[in-house]
Amino acid sequence: MAGIDLSVNISGVEFKNPLIVASGPPTLSPQHVLKCIRAGAAGAVTKTITYDVTQQVQPKPRMLVVNPEDALRSRFYSFYSIDLMSEYKPELWLRQIREVKKEAKAYMGVIIASIAGRTFEEWEKLARLVEEAGADMVELNLSCPHLEKGGLMGRAVSSSPEKVSEVVKTVSRATSLPIIGKLTPHGANPVELARIMVSSGVSALVSTARFQGLIVDLETMQPTSWGGFGGYGGPWQTPISVGWTAHIAMERLGVPIIGSGGVSKWEDAVQLILVGASAVQMCTAIMINGLKTIPEMLGGIEKWMANKGFRSIADFSGISLGKIVPLERLERRKRFQIYIDAEKCVKCGVCIRVCPYGALGESPASIPEPDQEKCDNCGLCLSICPRRAIRFEKEFDRR
């Protein structure tokens, strides 16, 4: 769109737009990385490269959509999986990153190598080798939800701030590439973890990854599908990721934040940028809706920017942070009269059922009669009414 510049600079690396494909099945091989870039993504993070052979053999089956009808209708869904790290050995990645690099560059695509070491030596070696192979940035997998205890990678290491710091320092010594630290939602205090990563040498942060979950089958009474814990994420996670991103941005740690976790629509990306992200990563939505998601999202972001009169991402990155009202300053005194539009109401009775204060009477067969004294203006009935028949009107003076 004329006059709109979607490019962002993250730690000295130019991205032609703020969309980065996160590490996962859409980037499972260098050829997949290239496909993401051809589809319009500014960058793509490789599936995590590791020397750990136990990570290189995937459980089968390992992925399921919890509510597939909703996923296919672009509604909220949950994605549950135990996809481990990359099946491909580091040597293959290194050789093929070299091969795809030229074409990626022709698209101005940034290749980010996700790495995970079992020892500090492996972290050091992988960081050095991916730089030699031509990766543009390194991302540290300190977030994989499946790795729970011990070890130096995935979320296991994130339970020890000292070890996280040592991993970051080791990688900083090994490479001159900008380092992205990927936060886990399982860290006891993600903001603190972000601070430690930055003071140890990362030059950008991914705000969050997936949670670990467990689904038990009631018939067999065993964990479903592959039989154990799995990563749990999906579009429902976005408000959590927006909150997380805002908290990290408010700390002003001095490094760009890549918002992530549940991004599936352009609106999610815009929200993350409004609370301080410079770019966004997405994985699950591309798996479910395909690579066409990338141009659709870019189109949506551009259109919104044009409507709002923004010409660059920097024009609106972080502008909502100053508008977040802290708990102690939330409005509590103002009261409104509640009004039900009889023309719109279909007497479904939902509002009567949900009202915690019993302010809408008891008979679902008639149009609810609001009791202005009982109504506490909680807002629940307004948001659930299927006909949008309820609204707050002028302020209500109780005296």
Ligand X SMILES: Cc1cc2nc3c(=O)[nH]c(=O)nc-3n(C[C@H](O)[C@H](O)[C@H](O)COP(=O)(O)O)c2cc1C
Instruction: Give the residue, chosen from 40, 185, 230, 261, that forms a contact with ligand X under the rule CB under 6 A.
Output: 261
Query: Nearest distance from residue 87's CB to ligand X, in Å?
Result: 10
Residue 384 CB: number of other CB atoms within 10 A?
14
Q: State the binding partner of 81 from ligand SF4, ligand X, none, CB within 5 to 8 A by kind.
A: ligand X
**Which of residues 299 and 379 has its CB atom nearest to ligand SF4 in the complex?**
379
How many residues in total does the chain contain? 399
Q: State the binding partner of 260 from ligand SF4, ligand X, none, CB within 5 to 8 A by kind.
A: ligand X
Alpha carbon separation from 221 to 227, 228, 344, 395 (Å, rounded): 10, 12, 46, 54
Q: State the binding partner of 200 from ligand X, ligand SF4, none, CB within 5 to 8 A by kind.
A: none
Residue 13 as a binder of ligand X (CB under 6 A): the answer is no
Instruction: Specify whether the CB–CB gap between 335 and 376 falls below 8 A.
Output: no
Residue 114 as a binder of ligand X (CB under 6 A): the answer is yes
Q: CA-to-CA distance for 119 and 105, rounded, in angstroms?
A: 32
Stretch that binds ligand X, among 19-27, 187-195, 323-331, 369-377 (CB under 6 A): 19-27
Residue 263 as a binder of ligand X (CB under 6 A): the answer is yes
Query: Nearest distance from residue 385's CB to ligand SF4, in Å?
Result: 3
Residue 277 as a binder of ligand X (CB under 6 A): the answer is no
Query: Nearest distance from residue 76's CB to ligand SF4, in Å?
Result: 21
Farthest CA pair distance, the chain: 77
Query: In angstroms, what is the C-alpha Rg of the chain?
Result: 24
Instruction: Give the residue, chosen from 178, 233, 256, 276, that forms a contact with ligand X under the rule CB under 6 A.
Output: 233
Residue 23 as a binder of ligand X (CB under 6 A): the answer is yes
Q: State the binding partner of 387 from ligand SF4, ligand X, none, CB within 5 to 8 A by kind.
A: ligand SF4
Instruction: Specify whether the CB–CB gap between 148 and 190 falls below 8 A.
Output: no
Q: Which two tokens stand for residue 201?
A: 């040498």
Q: CA-to-CA distance for 351 and 334, rounded, in angstroms?
A: 22
Q: State the binding partner of 114 from ligand SF4, ligand X, none, CB within 5 to 8 A by kind.
A: ligand X
Strand ranges for 119-259 from DSSP E:
137-140, 179-182, 204-206, 211-213, 230-233, 257-259
Q: x/- binding map, residues 152-191, to ligand X, per CB under 6 A?
A: ------------------------------x---------
Coil vs helix vs strand at 399: coil
User: Quick one: 143 exposed, middle or buried, by C-beta within 10 A (0-12, 13-18, 19+)?
Assistant: buried
**Which of residues 153 and 246 has its CB atom nearest to ligand X in the complex?**
153
φ/ψ (deg, to 5) at 346 = -110, 15
The residues of the shown chain that bind ligand SF4, judged by CB under 6 A, are 338, 340, 345-351, 355, 357, 359-360, 368, 370, 375-381, 385-387, 389-390
Total residues contacting ligand X by CB under 6 A comes to 28
Residue 165 CB: number of other CB atoms within 10 A?
16
Q: State the binding partner of 253 from ligand X, ligand SF4, none, CB within 5 to 8 A by kind.
A: none
Q: State the binding partner of 283 from ligand SF4, ligand X, none, CB within 5 to 8 A by kind.
A: ligand X
Q: Which two tokens stand for residue 23?
A: 């590490």
63 bridge partner residues: 81
Residue 168 CB: number of other CB atoms within 10 A?
22
Q: Which amino acid is at 24?
A: G
Query: Nearest distance from residue 337's CB to ligand SF4, in Å?
Result: 10
User: Quick one: 308 exposed, middle or buried, by C-beta within 10 A (0-12, 13-18, 19+)?
Assistant: exposed
**Which of residues 144 and 381 has its CB atom nearest to ligand X in the complex?**
144
Coil vs helix vs strand at 241: helix
φ/ψ (deg, to 5) at 252 = 45, 65
Query: Nearest distance from residue 272's CB to ligand SF4, in Å?
Result: 30
Q: State the binding partner of 292 from ligand X, ligand SF4, none, CB within 5 to 8 A by kind.
A: none
Q: Which amino acid is at 237?
A: Q
**Which of residues 50 and 200 has its CB atom nearest to ligand X in the complex?**
50
Instruction: Give the residue, chosen from 113, 130, 167, 209, that forms a contact with ligand X under the rule CB under 6 A.
Output: 209
User: Quick one: 313 exposed, middle or buried, by C-beta within 10 A (0-12, 13-18, 19+)?
Assistant: buried
Query: Nearest distance from residue 140's CB to ligand X, in Å?
Result: 9
Stretch that binds ligand X, among 172-180, 191-199, 257-265, 369-377 (CB under 6 A): 257-265
**DSSP 8-class letter at 22:** P
Using CB under 6 A as the criterion, which residues of the chain lie in contact with ligand X when the complex forms? 22-25, 47-48, 63, 79, 81, 83, 85, 114, 141, 143-144, 182, 209-210, 233, 237, 260-263, 282-285
